[in-house]
Structure 1
């Protein structure tokens, strides 16, 4: 028996595209009011309008979560304007892979900043509100869902720093899961395989590397991962889904 998310509030980072956008739409469909966070304000406003026109509630917040101050502000606005915080989906991500000698150090720094630091900053700010929601809401549970990657389970050539950030996300999620289990805040990590998002458009040449690695694999859609997010957070309080690895059928 899966539960509706009526009268709950979700915050989704990376909501302007890909898995973040799809997750926001899916959680809104389940009944949650959704805070939408990314840097591209125009896309966020369009998504908020789409959710509202479908009968949901949404708040668009343009911010750079690699700033701890802005990340805290995102959480504060969500709580203030939507009335609380029950679910956090950390979906913001950056992938800038390539040969390590040629790759600029700035690209490595940027991946660490968004994939790891941004996730940490938002989670840190959200934790008191999630604990409060778990203690006082009718569902008696709150959720954090972190989007990692199969690259956070298996390292590959020319993917060193991206993999490092995703290994860290998976490890941090498990540590937080243990820390907050007795306080009814569920921590879950989703590790997708090849998914058709804008990640491969973030740096020239990445698509060619992808095709040489995965050939003619039929990629998953962002909506496929959003279904995994919804599966996690709509389970009743007694059920905690700790980790989901999901790959395309054709991906070895």
Structure 2
């Protein structure tokens, strides 16, 4: 457990499952107060109850990352309640895989809105508060898809390349706010269970089950970056399971 003086107010988007939920468990166990955001508030409420029962500190707020107003409300509610926002983890993401000629344009738009605009909206909401305090930490969840492009993943990769670029830009602009990009490979989560062409989704899900690492491994990496002293900025963590190669 962290000392009370080390305890941070940490906001996590997309916290109802996968990496977000695993990160909430890890950081609450470390003694931080986690504020969980997602659309599925029933899952958030159950997770908050679980964390509190284990002795952790947590609360939740409904969040749609594709809405700037919703993101502003999420961050403002946490700031009003706790007096500060120490860390924002932009974790919410979707991956709808298909070839471009399938013309699943609505899913292209959804990936841009969630993966890219959702991250930008989080930065826009939290960065002014952090700059005003002269301290803070923004962690964006990228992907190994930000380093290579695969057939059927062109749009998803494009959004993650963009997240990687804006994270690096924010890092270069920042001296008082730490900025970290965490880029996982295949991970056990719900990411491969929704959207995209059915046959492509099935193949991606099978690969994630066979080659993926537990979401808790990504949570551990996030916890490592947060635990560093304010003078140390862990810029980029890229990680895969050993069997992914």
Q: Decide whether the 8 Å contact of 2:45 with 2:60 is kept in 1.
A: yes
Q: C-alpha deviations, 1:107-140, integer Å up to 9, x for none?
A: 000000000101111111101222234x3xxxxx
Structure 1 segments of 4+ aligned residues over 2 angstroms from their partners: 2-7, 203-212, 214-218
Q: Which moved more, 1:230-239 or 1:51-60?
A: 51-60
Q: Decide whether the 8 Å contact of 1:15 with 1:92 is kept in 2.
A: yes
**Two-structure CA RMSD over aligned residues (Å):** 1.9
Match of 2:194 in 1: 202
Match of 1:37 in 2: 37
Deviation of 1:99 (Å): 1.6
Match of 1:90 in 2: 90
Q: Which moved more, 1:198-207 or 1:159-168?
A: 198-207
Q: Quote the Cα distance in structure 2 between the aligned partners of 1:42 and 1:245.
A: 32
Deviation of 1:84 (Å): 1.1
Q: Quote the Cα distance in structure 1 between the aligned partners of 2:41 and 2:56.
A: 19
Match of 1:228 in 2: 221
Flag structure 1 segments of 5+ consecutive residues without an equivalent: 136-140
Deviation of 1:216 (Å): 8.0
Flag structure 2 segments of 5+ consecutive residues without an equivalent: none
Pairing 1:61-72 to 2, within 5 Å after superposition: 61-72=61-72
Q: Decide whether aligned partners of structure 1 residues 3 and 207 sit closer, same or farther in structure 2, where only a CA change above 3 A counts.
A: farther
Match of 1:239 in 2: 232
Answering whether residue 147 of structure 2 is matched by residue 153 of structure 1, we say yes
Q: Quote the Cα distance in structure 2 between the aligned partners of 1:215 and 1:235.
A: 30
Pairing 1:124-143 to 2, within 5 Å after superposition: 124-133=124-133, 135=134, 141-143=135-137
TM score, norm. by length of structure 2: 0.93
Q: Decide whether the 8 Å contact of 1:4 with 1:234 is kept in 2.
A: no
Q: Quote the Cα distance in structure 1 between the aligned partners of 2:94 and 2:44.
A: 18
Q: Which moved more, 1:36-45 or 1:75-84?
A: 75-84
Pairing 1:178-217 to 2, within 5 Å after superposition: 178-180=172-174, 182=175, 184-203=176-195, 204-210=198-204, 214=207, 217=210
Q: Quote the Cα distance in structure 1 between the aligned partners of 2:238 and 2:16.
A: 23
Q: Quote the Cα distance in structure 1 between the aligned partners of 2:131 and 2:46.
A: 31
Query: When the two structures are aligned, how many residues end up with a matched partner?
Result: 242
Answering whether residue 166 of structure 2 is matched by residue 172 of structure 1, we say yes
Q: Quote the Cα distance in structure 1 between the aligned partners of 2:3 and 2:235.
A: 18
Q: C-alpha deviations, 1:55-97, integer Å up to 9, x for none?
A: 2221211121201111111100011112210001011000001
TM score, norm. by length of structure 1: 0.90
Q: Quote the Cα distance in structure 2 between the aligned partners of 1:3 and 1:248.
A: 32
Deviation of 1:5 (Å): 7.0
Q: Quote the Cα distance in structure 2 between the aligned partners of 1:11 and 1:114.
A: 17
